[in-house]
Structure 1
Amino acid sequence: MIYVLIVLLLAALAVAGYLLWKSRQQPTAQKEPDDFIGDQHKHASDQLRQVRNGDVIEYLGHNWFVRGRIDFDEHGYRWTEHMLDDAEGKKWLSIEDDESFEVSLWHAIPLGDIEQGAVGDRDIIVGG
């Protein structure tokens, strides 16, 4: 009779030990990856997400005025482009907040500045 109690006690300890070991072996929940922008730039990215007509954007010590906004939706792929201008001309600020946060500043160039290539070509050379 005492042997049966010892065997049951050992079996209970073995089951408890196995369950404890098994619970430690389960993978922990995956953490969300850190924002690639980083916390130090989060304020700037939040501001860019809220750009509106009439805002002033300072970049590299130069002020640009937001004059227009176009929102694009191409089969669920969304981005916004803002027309910026100053006394020197206009530029476009593209903001994509889809799978990642991406900001581009671009401007049109005269066709005469194209050194090699044409519309529709894969490679175009401008300014070397």
Structure 2
Amino acid sequence: MPRKLPALNADNRAFWQGGERGQLLICHCDACARYVHPPGPICPYCASFNVAAIPVSGKGVVVSFTLNYQAWTDELELPYVVAIIELAEQQGLRLLSNVIGMDPLLVHIDMPVKVSFLNIDDVWLPLFEKDQ
């Protein structure tokens, strides 16, 4: 069974397809200078409609994680890491993702990570791997 893919729309298309160019695109409000995730047409901080997706560094840290031993899809090797990643650009700017490319038992809180992308059809899933 393949991964479930998001339904693309005008609000989230940049986030899910930025990986095609190797970019993690996060909505940013020009009015209050805050990043907004998940993507949406209005800033939840100041209610401005002046929100657009812009590239971020793709760097962050693991703030929480769990090791999952349930095989929801055939391509996931057990165990796999489901993590909350806080991006470097803004305190509290967090994504739910997977940490890949390393022994899952070595993942830890405050571990520096960087984005990588898994392309499936017209979606580039942002995944994270350990950063030097």
**Relative contact order (C-alpha < 8 Å, sep 6+): which is higher?**
2
- Fold conserved between structures, TM > 0.5: no
TM-score interval, normalised by the smaller of the two chains = under 0.3
* Bigger CA radius of gyration: 1
Looking at secondary structure, tell me which structure has more helix per residue. 1
